[in-house]
Structure 1
């Protein structure tokens, strides 16, 4: 079993990728976007964090979060988001025997990928990656056309122009 090492930097900023267990032929995250949003709101109310960027795709999502000073527990927040979302759905998914024995749902991959943001350039690269992801996956032909993204907030705040993303180059070493 791999030895996962996580950086725990209180008040740090991280980039995350969180995947559904079965990524083929599913649109669960966008179909249940209201439930996902409500689950995130409930977790943020109990355990605050700042959403710097977020995109929800049909089968996975990317986010950049900043935790409050003195707090480094992003894992607990993701656990609560994933479990809260799962508990609210009917139990219709396939579950392996291993998941049945562990009394786990078959919705999410167990682990998520995280990267501690090192500096402003790293932050900008990862926020760009979050926002261009629907275009990268061929879900839209313009970034602004994807509704489940913080990109719209960035446009409203004058950070990106509405036509941003047409000549974007992949610069993040993350495999999704």
Structure 2
């Protein structure tokens, strides 16, 4: 499978899971460390628009701000550094993540808005929390803070304002098929919505 090139000044959905769907984050400390490595390795090459860390997979919504080779290498450095540290901590060997992180180019602003909501609501969709607002390893709450990052202002502008941003997250997303390949236990609605959203095929 040919991997999409990470083009400068374009937005992408970056996601992956543990090999064989294994755990990649054992506890909060692992997740905090992963976020620390994101800042270390992705700064100056990638703007993080949204994120969600789950126990066996993660989602990142990003804007590429450097040349393709630098951006791709920064992701490789991030995942390699985390895998090395995790393996040492857990006394394990071998690959931690599935080969080649997935990346999907975001083609329009409506798709970007829906994807941000989906990523933030992922823990609720998986039944880990009753409300996605109670889960701390997403970027949702960072949008509610009074900071003036350029990309944050742009994203909030897509929703018109912070009130509409919060209101949009109240939409019912049950029935979505998550990008780690597992179905939500409450998945009773038509999965076509998510397939349209993230461009997945039936066997993914």
Any runs of at least 4 consecutive aligned residues in structure 1 with deviations exceeding 3 A, and if so which?
24-27, 162-166, 169-172
TM-score scaled to structure 1, two decimals? 0.78
* 1:18 counterpart = 2:13: no
Q: How many residues align?
A: 162
1:6 & 1:29 partners in 2: Cα distance? 32
Contiguous gaps of at least 5 residues in structure 2? 147-161, 177-192
Cα deviation for residue 130 of structure 1 reads: 0.7
* 1:72 counterpart = 2:77: no
- Contact in 2 for aligned 1:11/1:72 (Cα 8 Å): no
Change (3 A) 1:8 1:31: closer
Larger RCO (CA within 8 A; separation ≥ 6): 1
Bigger fraction of residues in helix: 2
Matches within 5 A, 1:152-163: 152-156=141-145, 158=162, 160-161=165-166
The answer for the alignment partner of 1:99 in structure 2 is none
RMSD (Å) for aligned C-alpha atoms: 2.6
Contiguous gaps of at least 5 residues in structure 1? 96-104
Matches within 5 A, 1:116-155: 116-155=105-144
Change (3 A) 1:29 1:20: farther
Cα deviation for residue 32 of structure 1 reads: 0.5
TM-score scaled to structure 2, two decimals? 0.68
1:172 pairs, out of 191, 194, 200, with 194
